[in-house]
Structure 1
Amino acid sequence: MNAMCGHVEDYLRMRRSLGYKLERAGVLLPKLVDYLETAGSPTLTSELAISWARLPVGVSPNHWAARLAVARGFARYLQTIDPATEIPPAGVFPARRNRPTPYLWSQADIARLLDGARALRSPIRAATHQALFGLLAVSGMRVGEATGLDRGDIDFETGVVTIRHAKHDRTRLVPLHETAVAALDAYATERDRLCPATRSDAFFVSNTGTRLTPSGIAKTLRQITTDMGIRDATTAPTAHQLRHSFAVRTLIDWQQSGVSIDGHIAILSTYLGHIAPSDTYWYLLASPELMATAAERLDTRLGART
């Protein structure tokens, strides 16, 4: 089984070099190798992979499907080395992907959010979160992408932000409107005045001059949205949902302006850092307003033909 362990290490190293983190696979694949060793099998077969996938009890089929997906990915790689390897079939477990409907921030909500951030007691915390939430709202960046920005990543002359470690560890360029650039420039000036001796090169800094953390941002957002009265037992707005709202607002503006979404979706997909336009199309289903606008345009088109 030492050879199998080596194949796991090579597989993970190869995939990670392509930008995939494979955190789950890094945990599960050694356990799969242990299972094969216990079974006395030098070869990965579909039967063994499926049996291993469904070992956990009291879990949903989604959990089994996720484990089997890890095994399938490794099996595809392993089959190029050992032709006797069997790739488990897809769809063995009746898994469903239920994506929760995101909270869609209205323009009024965003304005109140920025006002609430500016009213925070600490001046540097207030300035930082107002600028951060504003950037997320107008760019659709992921939270981790924004907090990962260093000072040299924003070119105030060209208005372009360089995200160096986007999803799958890719680099992408995000052009901003001149008003957003001006707001970030003003924040940078205020940040340097309020916190001249920072402890990192981060663009957005905390009270102590360090890079912001996801938990700290979430805590601040909970405080503000609770004060705004939009957070309750069933509604929990998040910073990431500013990204959803940016995408939905862009699509709504296109629809209402008569712009072809099919003809422009690739542009939005690239801007958001999606691997495929299909990931962006999901936002069409996330907004009743989008669906209503689409239905209205369809009725108008069909009505014109009768």
Structure 2
Amino acid sequence: MTAPGETSVSASASTTTTLRDRLDEYLVLRRALGFQLNDVERQVGGFCTWLEARGQTTTFTIDEAVTWARLNPDAHPSWWATRLSLVRRFAGYLNANDVDVPVIPRGLLPARKPRAVPFIYSQDDLDALLAACDRVFSDERIAATMRTAIGVLAATGLRIGEALKLRVGDIDHVNHLLVIKAAKSAERLVPIHPTTTAALMDYIALPARAASNPDPDGPVFVTANGTGYAYVTFLSRFKRVREAAGLLPRGRARPRLHDLRHTFATAHMSAAYAHDGDPDRVLSLLATWLGHSDATHTYWYLSATGELMALAAGRLELNAGTTQGEPS
């Protein structure tokens, strides 16, 4: 009973903050700092769904986190470790905000992710990819989009995300520069060859592209609706082009879209050795060109190709011979 004028508040009327609510807060906070967090949203959101099915909405145990991470028994251990690491970060955030969840210790499900072996495209491979675009796609706009985008990736070493987010106004066709804004690093200028500039401007002026009514200063590469390409759509079409080009794996190296970036970096280092350039200076330039915050990151893009290793070995032998011939 309540006295007149008093309000009865039941326990059931109180609002309980769930893990999913906390995840939404976490995503908003981190994205405000510039993080993408698509994997976190997908994976940790899946963890919340799994917990909800078990009647857990406000907390979880370490055992539950590990069990969820290993739901797919056939997955590589590195995949289990990746899933658990995403939950670990979320748990750390919750714990720091006085939510009753345990801190997940490091070292559980340890597994180093195996590095993919880069597929270094030869000039014949690149020619085959470009030629296949017109065979695979009867739509002139799609064929031109794939052909031009693949050419730009091969000629600049851009990330695919950077290329798809490139806007018409980001092309300085007078000075042959691209302004790269949507990247992991700060804004940077990427010099391009005049032939690359010409290919981009020809694509932008293509009547089939204009028919999609694109924004004059919108994305360079557009869909039938004049909007920018989604990564999954472009990747799906690239796989069709790759198959039509007849490119097959070489050992453990499979021809991936991202390997165009590896190819670009490796080709420039090979040229530095072949033409008596300064490899250290080229490495530093490549780090800036590729948008790496540290030159050590660029090493990941330098595959040990036979040509590059032979050139490097030749340089070492030359230096050794010069040193031995010097007077003491």
TM-score range (shorter-chain normalised) is 0.7 to 0.9
> In the alignment, is residue 197 of structure 1 matched against residue 215 of structure 2?
no
2-11 vs 79-88, greater mean Cα deviation:
79-88
* Residue of 297, 302, 305 corresponding to 2:320: 302
Distance 1:305-1:83 versus aligned 2 partners, 3 A rule: farther
Residue 94 and residue 299 in structure 1: after superposition, are their counterparts in 2 closer, same or farther (change >3 A)? farther
Is residue 2:111 matched to residue 1:101? Answer: no
Query: What is the rounded CA distance, in whole Å, between the counterparts of 1:233 and 1:86 in structure 2?
Result: 46
1:289 corresponds to: 307
User: 1:1-306 maps to which residues of 2 (within 5 A)?
Assistant: 2=17, 5-30=20-45, 31=47, 35=51, 49-50=65-66, 53-54=69-70, 56-82=72-98, 87-117=103-133, 121-167=138-184, 171-189=187-205, 191=206, 193-201=207-215, 202-206=219-223, 211-212=228-229, 214=231, 217-218=234-235, 221-222=238-239, 224-226=241-243, 228-231=245-248, 237-306=255-324
Which range moved further: 39-48 or 69-78?
39-48
| Contact 1:103–1:241 (CA under 8 A) maintained in structure 2 | yes
Letter in 1 for 2:190: V
Label 1:247 to 1:46 Cα distance change in 2 as closer, same or farther (>3 A).
same
Contact 1:284 1:291 in 2 (8 A): no
Distance in 2 separating the partners of 1:232 and 1:54 = 29
Output the aligned Cα RMSD. 3.9
Give, as a single letter, the amino acid of the residue that structure 1 aligns with 2:273: Q
User: 1:218 offset after TM fit, Å?
Assistant: 4.8
Q: Which amino acid aligns with 1:163?
A: I
Cα distance in 1, alignment partners of residues 114 and 173 from structure 2: 41
Q: Once the two structures are aligned, what percentage of the paired residues are identical?
A: 33
Question: Are the counterparts in 2 of residues 64 and 93 from structure 1 also a CA contact under 8 Å?
Answer: yes
Aligned mates of 1:127, 1:29 — CA distance in 2: 39
By how many angstroms is 1:49 displaced?
A: 4.6
Q: Is the 8 A contact 1:205 1:212 kept in 2?
A: yes
Q: CA deviation at 1:69?
A: 0.8
Residues 148, 200 of structure 2: 8 Å contact kept: yes
Structure whose alpha-carbon radius of gyration is higher? 2
TM-score of the pair, normalised by structure 1: 0.77
2:280 & 2:60 partners in 1: Cα distance? 43
Deviates more, 1:255-264 or 1:6-15: 255-264
Moved more, 96-105 or 170-179: 170-179
* Matched AA of 1:149: L
- Asked if 2 retains the 8 angstrom alpha-carbon contact of 1:45 and 1:87, the reply is no
CA contact (8 A) 2:166 2:220 kept: yes
Contact map agreement 1:285 1:291 (CA 8 A) in 2:
no
Q: Deviations over 1:246-300 (max 9, x none)?
A: 1111121223344444444343223223344333201233533323322332333
Between 1:97-106 and 1:51-60, the stretch displaced more is 51-60
**What is the aligned residue count?**
303
What letter is aligned with 2:42?
V
Q: Extract unaligned runs of 5+ from structure 2.
A: 1-15
Gaps of 5+ in 1: none
CA contact (8 A) 2:133 2:143 kept: yes
Larger deviation: 46-55 or 36-45? 36-45
The SS at the match of 1:174 is strand
